[in-house]
Structure 1
Amino acid sequence: MLWWLLGAALLARAAGFYLPGLAPVSFCEPGNEQVPDCKPTIELFVNRLDSVESVLPYEYTAFDFCSEEKMKRPSENLGQVLFGERIEPSPYKFEFKKPAVCQSVCNRTYDTSKASDKNKLEFLKKGMLLNYQHHWIVDNMPVTWCYDVEDEQKFCNPGFPIGCYVTEAGRPKDACIVNPNFNEKDAFYIFNHVDITIHYHIVEHEQLGARLVAAKIEPKSFQSPDCSGGPKFLKNKQTGVFDIKYTYSVKFVEDKSIRWASRWDYILESMPHTNIQWFSIMNSLVIVLFLSGMVAMIMLRTLHKDIARYNQMDSVEDAQEEFGWKLVHGDVFRPPRKGMLLSVFLGSGTQIFIMTFITLFFACLGFLSPANRGALMTCAVVLWVLLGTPAGYVAARLYKSFGGEKWKTNVLLTAFLCPGVVFADFFVMNLILWGEGSSAAMPFGTLVAILALWFCISVPLTFLGAYFGFKKAGIEHPVRTNQIPRQVPEQSFYTKPLPGIIMGGILPFGCIFIQLFFILNSIWSHQMYYMFGFLFLVFIILVITCSEATILLCYFHLCAEDYHWQWRSFLTSGFTAVYFLIYAIHYFFSKLQITGLASTILYFGYTMIMALIFFLFTGSIGFFACFWFVTKIYSVVKVD
């Protein structure tokens, strides 16, 4: 009965769930009753405003634009809240196929003699100076600003500026370069009018009405409320009363060439990164093939001959003549120093690895497309919460194999150490966002909800996994460990720990740095990321590269009679995160235009969170690859 009730609940939930691209909304002219469930009114929603020159996003109402206070704002999922999205209704509403010209929306009047009005005006000027962008939504599709760029190509930006600034020297900044009439020195030009063009496609022979396939906008500036005259500008040091009248025009265009299922293509095609992505994939595959050949040569030739010769020895004298990895068989499975910390890191790394794999897999299937806003982050957080059991199990099982007995400390550290560091960093960043009044600041209720997910779901699941991990017998090693540890001989430069760790992260980072550029662009430059197929393929290549590079270095170290492979294997592939951090610093100073202390602190604070997660993820891959390799080669060694 319980399973039947659960199935019924899931079916009921599925009734309100849809895959992006599979549940279109039909529109029809007012009074048309031939098409069932069609909408005559097109609603326009507004999202947060952001800038490439500032990490701080703000809500739409923070700039005192025309707002709709009576309507209830749509609900937001956890991912949207974490990313700072604040979708609100707007007073921009259109009747389908009913054009409008210079329709008034609202009027804003500011008196600089009043402190409140002066602050609002200064904040609006700050937004124009930092090139803050509107983000409007029609039928769950971004309203785009399309303009010509070099090589006769058209770029469609899912946002448009609120205004622009002309410097005291007469140099136009940002969007001011598109209009030669923006020539007043030390003045802010306000885009107080928008021309909206809505493209639709009529579904013939099915009586399904019309479906919207594109929404484009062109921001303009007018001094007069009848959309005539010169552009509307505000002098930087202007005083007195200042009026801003917001207007819009809308027209409808039938477009038979665009289908509803491919209506995002014109946005994505304006970002031609496919060739670069294929170049990145081919570059990574060459590295993987090179490493695979090296590992195959070691496994099939070197190790095969060594093991065959080792197993054919008949006397102790022959054994004494051997050298290299065979001589450390009695120490290779000796518990590492700080085994508690290593087991905790490996448990958290396993949790992150499974979470990343499942999230990217669902993203490739289209469940987490850009049309499903916030779904990617929501999926990742929910999976992380539900994957506490594997984290606890892996940490407990490895800690027990290391000979550890403080199982209570182990399970507590697994549940609280790495998540606690991430939450502490995130909480400090949230305090800064609160202080700056940014929309990205998480509400107190959401913060309590995340803590509840952590303490009430993730922690008990971690305890459950640790219970089964400690209950199960320890991992049996193929060779016994000697009571007296063997002395490690003097190492050459390239077999010492630090050079090996530094070299180990170069190849994995070389496989991902091009993909990393697009990911950082999507996060900090607010570009749309949609190439999850490429990302999943690069994820697989990264796993293979980390494994093979760590195995190679592990074999070289064992041949040098250095049996301390546990921490070294973790740090070798985990050092990729250090290269990621260095690249993020380079990206900040070379690609971004971020100004202000708060934005700088936020950038590096969030980057440290990503670097820690990446360190645990790649380090765990390297350890488990070396663990498999060492177990495999020593399982065929005959020990008296």
Structure 2
Amino acid sequence: MSSSSAFSTVRSSFSLFAFVFLFLSPVFASESDHKYQPDDAVTLWVLGGNELIDGQIDIKFQKNVDKGTICQLELDEAKVKEFKDAIENSYWFEFFMDDLPLWGFVGELHPDKNTGKILDLTYSIKWIPTNITFARRFDVYLDYPFFEHQIHWFSVFNSFMMVIFLTGLVSMILMRTLRNDYAKYAREDDDLETLERDVSEESGWKLVHGGDVFRPPYSLALLSAVVGTGAQLALLVLLVILLAIVGTLYVGRGAIVTTFILCYAFTSFISGYVSGGMYSCNGGKSWIKSMILTACLFPFMCFGIGFILNTIAIFYGSLAAIPFGTMVVVFVIWAFISFPLALLGTVVGRNWSGAPNNPCRVKTIPRPIPKKKWYLTPSVVSLMGGLLPFGSIFIEMYFIFTSFWNYKVYYVYGFMLLVFLILIIVTVCVTIVGTYFLLNAENYHWQWTSFFSAASTAVYVYLYSIYYYHVKTKMSGFFQTSFYFGYTLMFSLGLGILCGAVGYLGSNLFIRRIYRNIKCD
């Protein structure tokens, strides 16, 4: 049984329902005898706040049951009050039979008092023939009018047009400007007067070409770790979306969660490879620190948030609490698969792609950065950089939030793939523009700025989640609020690291491209 909080509310449940609603508990089939196996542990599924309990109901195929009794329950005032609260707040239950979910509300209120009465908890089963094939049996759970509404198509089209406009704008402005700069710097036979005039007229990004732009950033180990983790998350999201499109993961109970965790473990090599190569290219020396930080940063952030939420769930006696056995399984996956692969990737990245290849020699003495107007400061550039990427995923966030918090089955992963690719392209373009403006302000500290200008997309997503909480849900109370914002914070952190890594890598390629043909001292 997986009993959950009501319509438009977070996944909360009380221990009372685990006892009272045994007759509504799940019976799911094994491949061998189509009967629930008491020793079958649903491990990663419970990470979504769904712990199943055996309903002890013996359901046989095509055998109707008019009235079967599970047990008897004697009501007292406390139980009547909790029943009443559950009914008035539209709490509903969920149970599974042969991996198909069924939902129902707790019951109805009657004016007469039931204190002291003994209730027979019963169930009935009726088999009805259908023409629906086994492969299409899950279609009844899919809300086609909601997900395939014309506004969903329009949002994707609108985002696609934004990509075309933005990439065209970036290409036109930057390449037109840079072409003139290349022509001037490529001249071999300038006379002294022309050269002196060119030097006196230099401004913007051309003044920081002497190697300052390739100076290692501060907190290099941390930046390498978040960029490596973000590259891994980008590949992870792409893999999960493709697997969902090919294999219809939404049909299997907990398949998305299981796929996500396993794919994360096996893609940890990417985070180490990118982080190790970046750390070595910038002359980093503390290899142990870099490896440990890359392997542990994101998992430990998620663990910290999950630990707090799990403590709250245990305090409230909720089935959303993750069992100790499941935590052990997740830790073993991380310790014996993810962690070693991240370390291996760091070593490989250090040796294969870690040779410095800067177009310009880094100067010993850093160039002073002039004071510029407020809108060209790194903080403003970073904050404004997330607006357009958020605009490209704004509508899709509504569908994702509604699927997760309102229990709709999200199945339009083709839409998600398009939106994800659009997000990547928009993030790269916007970050390149922001980096170009920063260099024109003669500020060569572009590394962290490019990361945060892309990562700020997550800030707007979290602000949107606050709006969604107050306007689109009926949640209340500390338990529901903490779970909502805890899960959203975890999602936003992952999205921010992903976008930040994409923004940094795009800006890094852009800078190496524009300074490649510049003559350096």
- 1:55-454 aligned at under 5 Å gives the runs 55-57=11-13, 61-66=18-23, 72-73=37-38, 75-87=40-52, 88-89=54-55, 91=57, 93=59, 95-96=61-62, 102-106=66-70, 108-112=72-76, 118-143=77-102, 159-164=103-108, 188=109, 233=110, 235=112, 239-248=115-124, 250-255=126-131, 258-269=132-143, 271-274=145-148, 275-312=150-187, 314=190, 315=192, 316-317=195-196, 318-330=198-210, 331-368=212-249, 370-454=250-334
Q: What fraction of aligned residue pairs are identical, expressed as a percent?
A: 34
Question: What CA deviation, in whole Å up to 9, does each residue of 1:529-561 have, x standing for no partner?
Answer: 111111111110000010001011111221222
Q: Whose helix proportion is higher, 1 or 2?
A: 2
Q: Distance in 1 between matches of 2:98 and 2:335?
A: 38
Q: Distance in 2 between matches of 1:47 and 1:55?
A: 10
Count of matched residue positions in the alignment of Structure 1 and Structure 2: 502
Conserved 8 A contact 1:506-1:576: yes
**In 2 relative to 1, CA 417–358 (structure 1 residues): closer, same or farther, beyond 3 Å?**
same
Question: What CA deviation, in whole Å up to 9, does each residue of 1:469-489 have, x standing for no partner?
Answer: 333442311112222211222
Equivalent AA in structure 2 for residue 103 of structure 1? K
What corresponds to 2:30 in structure 1? none
What corresponds to 2:32 in structure 1? none
**In 2 relative to 1, CA 137–508 (structure 1 residues): closer, same or farther, beyond 3 Å?**
same
Q: Distance in 2 between matches of 1:616 and 1:110?
A: 53
Conserved 8 A contact 2:216-2:282: yes
Q: Distance in 1 between matches of 2:61 and 2:282?
A: 70
Q: Distance in 2 between matches of 1:67 and 1:521?
A: 25
- 1:409-558 aligned at under 5 Å gives the runs 409-472=289-352, 473-558=354-439
Conserved 8 A contact 1:54-1:595: no
Q: Distance in 2 between matches of 1:461 and 1:259?
A: 43
Unaligned runs of 5+ in 1: 1-45, 113-117, 144-158, 165-187, 189-232
TM-score, reference length from structure 1:
0.73
Equivalent AA in structure 2 for residue 110 of structure 1? E
Conserved 8 A contact 2:220-2:279: yes
**In 2 relative to 1, CA 496–95 (structure 1 residues): closer, same or farther, beyond 3 Å?**
closer
What corresponds to 2:440 in structure 1? 559
CA shift, 1:363, in A, is: 0.9
**In 2 relative to 1, CA 586–350 (structure 1 residues): closer, same or farther, beyond 3 Å?**
same
Q: Distance in 1 between matches of 2:409 and 2:69?
A: 30
What corresponds to 1:49 in structure 2? 4
Conserved 8 A contact 2:216-2:283: yes
Q: Distance in 2 between matches of 1:548 and 1:246?
A: 61
Conserved 8 A contact 1:359-1:380: yes
**In 2 relative to 1, CA 426–592 (structure 1 residues): closer, same or farther, beyond 3 Å?**
same
**In 2 relative to 1, CA 282–445 (structure 1 residues): closer, same or farther, beyond 3 Å?**
same
Conserved 8 A contact 1:53-1:130: no
CA shift, 1:492, in A, is: 2.1
Q: 484, 487, 501: which is aligned to 1:620?
A: 501
Q: Distance in 1 between matches of 2:388 and 2:375?
A: 16
- Secondary structure class of the residue paired with 1:630: helix
What corresponds to 1:574 in structure 2? 455
**In 2 relative to 1, CA 58–375 (structure 1 residues): closer, same or farther, beyond 3 Å?**
farther
TM-score, reference length from structure 2:
0.89
**In 2 relative to 1, CA 292–452 (structure 1 residues): closer, same or farther, beyond 3 Å?**
same
Q: Distance in 2 between matches of 1:234 and 1:628?
A: 72
**In 2 relative to 1, CA 361–563 (structure 1 residues): closer, same or farther, beyond 3 Å?**
same
Conserved 8 A contact 2:80-2:114: no
Aligned Cα RMSD in Å?
2.5
**In 2 relative to 1, CA 436–62 (structure 1 residues): closer, same or farther, beyond 3 Å?**
farther
- Secondary structure class of the residue paired with 1:131: coil
Conserved 8 A contact 2:22-2:55: no
- Secondary structure class of the residue paired with 2:126: strand
Please identify runs of 4+ aligned residues in structure 1 that moved more than 6 A.
Answer: 67-70
CA shift, 1:162, in A, is: 1.5
Question: What CA deviation, in whole Å up to 9, does each residue of 1:327-347 have, x standing for no partner?
Answer: 111211111122222111112
Q: Distance in 2 between matches of 1:604 and 1:111?
A: 36
Conserved 8 A contact 2:49-2:319: yes
Equivalent AA in structure 2 for residue 239 of structure 1? T
Q: Distance in 2 between matches of 1:487 and 1:409?
A: 30
**In 2 relative to 1, CA 109–383 (structure 1 residues): closer, same or farther, beyond 3 Å?**
closer
Q: Distance in 2 between matches of 1:530 and 1:90?
A: 32
Question: What CA deviation, in whole Å up to 9, does each residue of 1:396-439 have, x standing for no partner?
Answer: 22222222212222212222233212111111111111222222
